[in-house]
Amino acid sequence: MPELTLAEKLEILADGAKYDVSCASSGSSRRNRDGIGNAAQCGICHSWTADGRCVSLLKILLTNACIYDCAYCVNRRSNDTRRVILTPPEVAELTIGFYRRNAIEGLFLSTGVVKTPDHTMELLIEATRLLREEHRFNGYIHVKVVPGADLLLVERLGRLADRVSINMELPTREGLQLLAPDKSREAIVAPMRRVGELIVQTKEERKVSRKIPPFAPAGQSTQLIVGAAGESDLQIVTLAAGLYGRLAMKRVYYSAFIPVNRDERLPAVVGTPPLVREHRLYQADWLMRYYGFAAGELLNEERPNLDLSLDPKAGWALRNLHLFPVEVNRADYETLLRVPGIGVRSAQRIVRARRGGHLSLDDLPKLGVVMKRARYFVTARGRFAADLAPDAAGLRARLLEKTPARPRWNQPSLFEGGAAGIDLRSAITGEL
Ligand code: SF4
């Protein structure tokens, strides 16, 4: 078989990386000193595809070869695919080449497992080291950690990269055993825990001395596949809450299960992949990270799955109608955040604006409140905007009338966007 050119390898490896959605960058800020590139605050991914994937990182695999055979993975050992591997200098050369052509702002480097986890990690570390030390590349770098790798290698990688991520993929232990039997939960959690410890420890040490090198300053992230192993939303949301709370996780990404292999262990996907469910999980995740909701407020054993037709904040409000209406001139910030139609920015604006005098209902839209939702849940100067206060069933019917169209199914694409029927920012973040 003829030797592949670098461009041909790139095509194969970029295609193999497209199912990994955990590539959004955020939170890394580092000025360029004597190299090239800057890692900007709030991340370098300012462009998003319509299906919510970022496009300004070079997103590739080091190799699509893998010694493992995860049922859901396009790169698994048993698939009859052409396998290629980049050398660390080739990864560095490609990244610098794209950066100089202004096509990318950073690198997202994932990989299959070649030979052993440690060997693969050595290659990732060398590629990252070459970029940082030889090419003086100061741009954003996000690298995958290989489950089961030596924790000292994990530490070396975290000293070079802005963000590291270890994909958990399957939310339950049973799911992992069934679909990815070569990987153990412990092999995934141990590096996550070590990364979490080093992030916290390094932040503390750098408060004392800035000479201590940073460790994964943009934090760690992970990805969960949604709908591959029969897990409930309660299991997913509880797991995510634990990852945020205990392992210093910056982001959990949710990826609707897309069948790419024929395998009797996998569920049949009738119609489109569970993209609406993925979107609802992003919304629940957003509520936990920014709105002060606990996982148990959103789901429980009696109600283990999110309502696909209604966003989880509206669902919570309908179950707690005794807490409404909220008077916008008196409610504290945390209470305002729980009102459907009021987001972080509009809650902040309300708190600021009411210092200058009592707000009226007419003021609320100017402050960013979405009145078509909030009208049923707020009063201003004691006045209620809705013509009547319906019961939960009536209110639900009214809110459903306002629900935007379902997102259309789009294959994740590195370079192309497609139209989706939902707000793009909301699609990827779940912001409500
Ligand atoms: S270890 Fe990763 S690359 Fe290898 S088969 Fe599993 S999911 Fe795919």
pLDDT in tens, 326-337: 999 999 999 999
188 lines ligand 1 (CB under 6 A): no
Candidate from 76, 223, 224 with most ligand 1 atoms within 8 A of CB, to mutate: 76
19 C-beta closer than 6 A to ligand 1: no
**Ligand 1 within 6 A of CB of 427:** no
Compute the distance from residue 16 Cα to the ligand 1 centre, in Å. Answer: 11
Looking from the CA of residue 147, the nearest atom of ligand 1 is 1
Q: Which atom of ligand 1 is nearest to the CA of 72?
A: 7
Residue 220: pLDDT above 60?
Answer: yes
**Structure-model confidence comparison of residues 248 and 50, the more confident one:** 248
State the average pLDDT over residues 241-270: 91
Helices (H), ranges, 161-307: 173-179, 185-208, 233-246, 275-290, 295-298
What CATH number is given for 6-298 in this structure?
3.20.20.70
Please name the residue whose Cα sits nearest to atom 5 of ligand 1. 76
- What is the whole-number distance in angstroms between the Cα of residue 113 and the centre of ligand 1? 7
CB atoms within 10 A of CB 421: 11
How confident is the model over 269-295, as a mean pLDDT? 92
* Coil, strand or helix at 139: coil
| Secondary structure of residue 63 in the 3-state scheme | strand
CA distance 223 to 196: 16
Residue with the nearest Cα to atom 3 of ligand 1?
112
- Average predicted confidence (pLDDT) for the chain: 86
Cα(383) to centroid(ligand 1), Å:
57
* Closest to 69 in 3D by CA, of 60, 80, 59, 84: 80
Note the pLDDT of residue 32.
58
Average the pLDDT over 419-423 and give the result: 37
pLDDT tens, position by position, 24-77: 444 455 555 556 555 443 333 444 433 444 558 888 999 999 999 999 999 999
Query: Distances from the Cα of 316 to the Cαs of 12, 245, 431, in angstroms?
Result: 45, 22, 16
The atom number, within ligand 1, closest to the CA of 69 reads: 5
* Tens-digit pLDDT profile for residues 163-210: 999 999 999 999 999 999 999 999 999 999 999 999 999 999 999 998
3-state secondary structure of 213: coil
What are the sequence ranges of the domains in the chain?
6-298, 312-403+424-429
